[in-house]
Amino acid sequence: MRLVCLLTLLLTALTCAFPGKNVEEEELTVAEEPTSTKSRFAMLDDVRLLANGLLQLGQSLREFVHKTKGQINDIFQKLNIFDRSFYQLSVVTSEIKESEEELKKTTSYLKNNNEEIKNLSLEINTKINSIMQERSQLQSKVWGLEERLSGLSESLLSKEQLSEISTLKEVIIAQERSITDLLKAVREQHEQLNYHKNKIKSLEDKLNFASFQDTAEQKEDSNLEAPNIFQYLTNNSTSASIVTNGLPIDCNEIFNRGERNSGIYPIKPNQSKPFNVYCEFTAEGASTVIQRRQDGSVDFDQTWEKYEEGFGDLEKEFWLGLKKIYSIARQNDSDILQIKLEDWKEQKRSVEYQFSLQGPDSNYTLHLTHLSGNLPNAMTNQTGMKFSTKDRDNDNHTDINCAQSYTGGWWFNACGETNLNGNYIWVRPMGRMVRRRGICWKPERGHSYHLKSTKISIRHTPEAISFR
């Protein structure tokens, strides 16, 4: 708009500076001579006006050119952006096409596999049907042969011989019953003899302990031999000198006597019957191993009686026994329960609890307080729980027996998924474990920790918190 106004102004100035002449005026100038002579040049003001107009026109044109260049540059930038976007879109499109081709190939491959699987399943079904038919045919043939044999036996043997055979069978059955009754009577007598033998041993134990106290008060030689009642312990003990110096109450006392070799030793806690334990010695002290799993050589799916008395081999896999564990634990207000586990990736972890164990009247109720360790705490829910086996259900589950479902005896709390006495299952490094059936350690809301080996031990702590 501004440019149009300038052009209009310029034309007006030119018109004023150079006015036109018509024909009449020319004729008039020829006919008449003017009185005064006019100038052939434009006036100075008109020239200045024209120059200003031209100058403004040039400036306007220059601004217009600059503005147009800027607009053209913007257009080029937008075109470049559009080109880049179009290129990126083309690249994405090509990638999508490639992915689509791969998906088509994968789909066709899966279809082929599905067809192969279907064909294999059909072949397997036909083979199974043929096997079942053959089995039924064999069964019918066997039944026919049995009938023929029975018929032949009846035809070959007379009635008298058959009656003799039947009477002989009855005699044999009667003899078997009498032998069974005799064996039962012998077993009862053997149990009675064992009962009286145990009574005699307990009396001898009390007499020997009294004599041992008398000799200690009289400051006699401490190297006297132990009573004969303990001689059977020396055969399986790591150090026979322990027996000759009087039986210790636990592994800690053996450690204090100077023993440093881990192994099997006899102990006699709380004036109970002496029994062997596996003592593990380190630089810090001693601990008593009460359970070990390492290769599945021992079946831990045992009855309540077995879990009370103990089973296994102290040098390999074993469960020490609830009675023995209780006799060790009751000597102090509380001990440290240490659990060491190794998974199938050969990663070893451990955890420690302060614990106490109640006696058989409470079904060996367990009390735990978590102390330390790099193993996730999974035993908190077991505190205050009674021990359960497949033939004695003491868990909190109202519908099922957890020991039967999970196998092995343990302090189950409505089952849960932590059980160190379950069936030993071999697991490949990338394999999966059968749920509820193996040795597992699963904390609340955590992943199961499938185990290759376990070891549970007790060590004495002088500064203990009482649970009772």
Q: What is the pLDDT of residue 40?
A: 55
Q: What is the pLDDT of residue 450?
A: 73
Q: What is the pLDDT of residue 243?
A: 45
Task: Per-residue pLDDT tens, the chain, 468 aa: give them.
Answer: 555 555 666 566 555 544 544 434 444 444 444 444 555 555 788 788 888 888 888 888 889 988 888 899 989 898 989 888 888 888 888 889 888 888 888 888 888 877 788 787 778 877 777 777 777 777 677 677 766 766 665 566 677 777 777 787 787 888 778 788 888 777 777 777 766 666 675 666 556 555 545 544 443 343 333 333 333 344 445 554 444 347 888 898 899 888 889 999 999 987 788 999 999 998 888 999 999 999 889 999 999 999 999 999 999 999 999 999 999 988 876 689 999 999 888 889 999 999 889 999 999 999 988 998 888 888 877 788 899 999 998 887 878 888 888 888 999 887 877 889 988 887 655 545 444 457 888 775 555 667 889 999 998 875 443 334
Element (H, E) at 460: strand 449-460
HEC letters along the chain? CHHHHHHHHHHHHHHHHCCCCCHHHHHHHHHCCCCCCCCCCCCHHHHHHHHHHHHHHHHHHHHHHHHHHHHHHHHHHHHHHHHHHHHHHHHHHHHHHHHHHHHHHHHHHHHHHHHHHHHHHHHHHHHHHHHHHHHHHHHHHHHHHHHHHHHHHHHHCCHHHHHHHHHHHHHHHHHHHHHHHHHHHHHHHHHHHHHHHHHHHHHHHHHHHHHHHHHHHCCCCCCCCCCHHHHHHHHHCCCCHHHHCCCCCCHHHHHHCCCCCCEEEEECHHHCCCEEEEEEECCCCEEEEEEEECCCCCCCCCCHHHHHHCEECCCCCEECCHHHHHHHHCCCCCEEEEEEEEECCCCEEEEEEEEEECCHHHCCCEEEEEEEECCCCCCHHHCCECCEECCECCCCCCCCCHHHHHCCCECCCCCCCCECCCCCCCCCCCCCCCCCCCCEECCCCCCCEEEEEEEEEEEECCCCCCCC
Q: What is the pLDDT of residue 75?
A: 92
